Amino acid sequence: MYGEGKRYKIVFFLENFKSVNEEIVIINNTKIKKIGEEERFLFENVVGHVLEITVENEGGNWTGVLKRADEKVECIVTALRLLKKSRIHISGGFFVSGAGSAFSHTPEIVGSLLEQLGPVFEIPITTYTLSKREIDELGNICKEYIACDFDRDSELRIAMQRFNKAYCREDMEDKIIDIMVALESLFLKGDEKNELTYRLALRTAAFLGNETTKKDIFKKMKEAYRIRSRIIHGNSANKNLEIKKITEIEDYLRQAIKKLLIMTDRDLSAIIDEIDEGLLSKAQS
């Protein structure tokens, strides 16, 4: 039964999600499961999966309950989005109280999460299917996310915030601006103001690419800057053409965040220096 003792649950409907598993435990007290009888009552008999989070109400601190729920929701949904390109969002959240009563989720409860983790627009939708092989990888991304010190690694925090904003943007022009700000946060140092296009494209290609793909990544990153420049200066773009290009750049951002999450024991500035040293060594050889 939901809400037993001092344990509270928050459940969100996962739209566009599919899995062969009845229940997937991701991290402690957090799971994805097929909708049961209690959830059908909350979600008006819809069929699908919910994200279910259990939190403790320690010392009657309701604010703490909401804060911990916020953090877990953001962790899981961001991890799902980082895992693969397929689109996913949450809706219809409910808190279930200690007395067993439920009340619907409101924007005030999780602040900007409804904006950042809510509906996805514009990009062609395919069902988000989670395979058995991907479940372990999802759990690993969540653990890396939880272990990250975002106060220290502010650049990575900014990049993930912008990634989620871009993910949910209705307007493709706003989307590419968020994506490029995120990539700049990861691969440009604070005092680097000149030659932004070249530096960002070169470092992104070096970090993500191999000998076969580096040139293509470099070329597409430079094109992304040209798209952003046209938008900022009020020049309209070919919308259908730009959607494909922006989606590719979004995936570069997804790959970079995932790769950097497992490197959070190192300073990002030192990683950038290492990328530059590698580029210099190749240029001199």
- Local confidence band at 280 (pLDDT 50, 70, 90 cut-offs): confident
Cβ–Cβ < 8 Å for 100, 70:
no
Whether this prediction's pTM lies above 0.75 is answered by: yes
- Local confidence band at 39 (pLDDT 50, 70, 90 cut-offs): confident
Most confident of the ranges 134-143, 238-247, 276-285: 134-143
Most confident of the ranges 50-54, 129-133, 228-232, 248-252: 248-252
Q: Could you read off the pLDDT of 120-177 as tens digits, one per residue?
A: 545 556 788 998 889 999 999 999 999 999 888 889 999 999 998 888 887 888 889 9
CA distance 139 to 115: 24
Q: State the chain's mean pLDDT as an integer.
A: 80
> What is the structure's pLDDT at 109?
34
> What is the structure's pLDDT at 4?
45
Of the candidate ranges 63-67, 85-89, 151-155, 267-271, the one whose mean pLDDT is the lowest: 63-67
Task: Check whether 9 has a pLDDT greater than 70.
Answer: yes
108 exposure class (CB count in 10 Å sphere: 0-12, 13-18, 19+) = exposed
CA distance 249 to 256: 11
> What is the structure's pLDDT at 1?
33
> What is the structure's pLDDT at 207?
95
- Local confidence band at 263 (pLDDT 50, 70, 90 cut-offs): very high
Of the candidate ranges 60-69, 86-95, 137-146, 206-215, the one whose mean pLDDT is the lowest: 60-69
